[in-house]
Amino acid sequence: MGMFDNVNVYYELPDPEVQDDVFQTKSFENMMDNYTITEEGRLILHKCHWEEVPEEERPYYGKPEWEESGLWQAMGSMKTIYDGDVDTNYHGMAEIYTILTDGEWCSYSLKFTDGVLVEVIRNEN
């Protein structure tokens, strides 16, 4: 399975039943980043970085579990810091996919030209 990125799509898709789904993709950096495709077809990266949480602010600090193993000490050890949105000006092809409620795979090939989504093709399973 591996790493992937998440994509919210506000651009109108051919299948309304998946419009509100959060899609996954392996077409970008595969760093668990979050992207949005706007109504206008722009690909936006929601840029962030990670910071370490001080031990005393972690959920199990000072509790009996803290001394049991490093797993309890590691829980809550990192937090995401939002840095802002970046228009990627993406040019090229990308694939996004989701699973429908009946378990069927739904994927789209997306063509971006000069930063704008110009074509959406539903892929056959």
Q: Which element (helix H / strand E) includes 43? A: strand 43-52
| Residue range 42-82, pLDDT digits in tens | 999 999 999 999 999 999 999 999 988 789 999 999 999 99
19 SS3 class: coil
Question: How would you write 99-125 as a 3-class SS string?
Answer: ECCCCCEEEEEEEEECCEEEEEEEECC
- The predicted model gives 2-17 an average pLDDT of 94
More confident of the two residues 102 and 63: 63
Mean pLDDT of all residues belonging to the chain = 94
The more confidently predicted of residues 65 and 87 is: 87
Three-state DSSP state, 71: helix
